[in-house]
Amino acid sequence: MNQVIENILSRRSIRAFGERKIPKEDLEILVKCALYAPSARNLQTWRFTVLTEREDIDGLASVMGKALGREGYDMYSPAALIIPSNRAASPYGRDDNACALENIFLAAHSLGIGSVWINQLNGICDEEEVRKVLAKFEIPSDHTVYGMAALGYSAEAEVKKVEKTGEVKFF
């Protein structure tokens, strides 16, 4: 099996991260991979924000938890977050960001970095307290966050291999 297919088939969502920091060079590679994702009509109306400081990640998680009514929400305490945002008016923003996130997840896995999709900001971006925190990170007020990549090195001794299923028909 080739390396790309092996990487796709072996990637799993990680929901328990250790404390180890991710090297800046690796985060830069992940963002570069995101920038090379497909973008409908090549509009590239996205923006990528990287958080690496615990205080910033915890602050965002706290305000999200309040908005969601989920006390103690912590996004699995990742070592870093990559936050793709896209113009709310872009008809393809959600799709473009999903492609970018998938590139991030696959590239992270190839570097031995765990990842999980965090989608809770979608729908609460424009709540006043949430928007204040997003503004602190210079995420434009006309942008929506459809999902984020929570990243870190797995705290789990072994990542559970789960067989993926779904209906497939060939004609």
Domain ranges of the chain: 3-152
Contact 80, 153 (CB under 8 A): no
What is d(CA 121, CA 83) in angstroms, rounded to the nearest whole number? 10
CATH architecture observed for domain 3-152: 3-Layer(aba) Sandwich (3.40)
What is d(CA 66, CA 128) in angstroms, rounded to the nearest whole number? 12
Q: Is the dihedral of CA 129, 67, 101, 40 positive or negative?
A: negative
What is d(CA 151, CA 168) in angstroms, rounded to the nearest whole number? 31
- Give per-residue pLDDT as tens, 18-57: 999 999 999 999 999 999 999 989 889 999 999 999 999 9
Q: Which of 153, 13, 8 is nearest to 78 (CA)?
A: 153
The pLDDT score that the predictor gives to residue 166 is 82
Section 7-16 average pLDDT: 93
Provide the token pair at 132.
């204040």
pLDDT band at 65 (very low <50, low <70, confident <90, very high): very high
pLDDT band at 96 (very low <50, low <70, confident <90, very high): very high
- Give per-residue pLDDT as tens, 129-168: 999 999 999 999 999 999 999 999 999 766 666 677 788 8
Contact 87, 45 (CB under 8 A): yes
Q: Is the pLDDT score of 1 beyond 70? A: yes
Q: Which of 142, 155, 156, 150 is nearest to 64 (CA)?
A: 150
Section 95-124 average pLDDT: 96
